[in-house]
Chain A
Amino acid sequence: MASIMIVDDSSVTRKVIKKHIKSGPYASAELVEAPNGEQALENVKGGLKVDVILSDWNMPKMNGLEFVRGVRAHEAATGVETPVKVIMITTEGTIDKVTAAMESGVNEYIVKPFTADTLTKTLKKVLPLRV
């Protein structure tokens, strides 16, 4: 079963993402939540393994970019063979922000507001559906 971690300080955005996932082809995925990058990174360093991380950018304590850099550094330090796929979901839609995210290890990028269809299509890019 696929597993997805949702990292966003907005509880309603986490709810919307969960609603979209649970009503689509990834309905059986196991979902984990974190309200900021700091807690999410603690989860990863504590051994939590997920297939995909959906992360906001602007969050208190630790933003999404710092979080992704932390994840990639942890993967490099521990010799992870299959890096987790990261989708950034954010209001930051400028080219320099998207470029910075990609350079930091983000695999896909969704600009808010978004639809269930956009989320599903983006998930399919990084997490092929198992038949």
Chain B
Amino acid sequence: MEQQLNQAVFSAVGSLLDTMIPVSYTLAQEASLQPGPHLLGSIQVQGRMLGSLVIALPTSLAIFMTARMLDEVIEEVNDDVYETVAEMINIVAGGVKTAFSKATQEAFLLGLPQVLELPHAPPNQFSRFGITVPVSTEAGTFLVMSNLQVSETA
């Protein structure tokens, strides 16, 4: 399950960065975030699987990626940056959902993405999550984390 989830997350991130946000990227060796303010995007899932998917980015990287996606100069966190982080986790979650779904049975239902800003890197960032996928880009590293589990009542 963890291996399949890891693979699905990285594949979904790759699809996103290959199409809508043109940045070079690799799977990072270390799952650590740089110090400083961060944006956290999360999306809840329910149904046959339960849990959440979370993306954590340094604000500088979120600004960089938003600027790349929109072809605009962006110098500080604004609504577009928040919306970009929301759309990133939404698209990644959609890719994971497709990977885990069968032809006629959805793996889970997606909630609406939420974004919040933290003044520093999220503490104890890995304790709640079964998997962490660190992605290194030319402008910094971000993490996608998930604690998805098959629902016992499904």
Contact = CB atoms under 8 A, between A and B. Distances in A.
B80 A91 contact: no
Contacts of A97: 106
Interface stretch (B86-94, B120-128, B130-138, B143-151): B86-94
Interface in B47-86: 66, 69-71, 79-80, 83-84, 86
Contact of A113 (B19, B79, B84, B112): B19
Contacts of B20: 16, 112-115
Given A91-B94, A94-B97, A115-B19, A12 B87 contact: yes
A10 B86 contact: yes
Given A16-B69, A19-B70, A115-B19, A91 B95 contact: yes
A113 B16 contact: yes
A37 B18 CA distance: 29
Contacts of A12: 66, 69-70, 80, 83-84, 87
Contacts of B103: 94-96
A10 B88 CA distance: 11
Interface string B96-140: 011001011110001010000000000000000000000000000
Interface in A4-53: 9-13, 15-16, 19
B110 A91 contact: yes
A78 to B, nearest CB: 32
A19 B71 contact: yes
A15 B80 CA distance: 9
A16 B70 CA distance: 6
Given A12-B69, A58-B110, A94 B98 contact: yes
Interface residues of A, number: 23
A85 to B, nearest CB: 23
A13 B86 CA distance: 10
B15 interface: yes
B17 to A, nearest CB: 9
Interface in B14-47: 15-16, 18-20
A126 to B, nearest CB: 21
Contacts of A10: 83, 86-87, 90
Interface of B: 15-16, 18-20, 66, 69-71, 79-80, 83-84, 86-87, 90-91, 93-95, 97-98, 101, 103-106, 110, 112
Given A15-B80, A91-B97, A113-B91, 20 more contacts: A10-B87, A10-B90, A12-B87, A91-B91, A91-B94, A91-B110, A92-B97, A92-B110, A93-B94, A93-B95, A93-B97, A95-B103, A96-B105, A112-B90, A112-B91, A112-B94, A113-B16, A113-B18, A114-B20, A115-B19
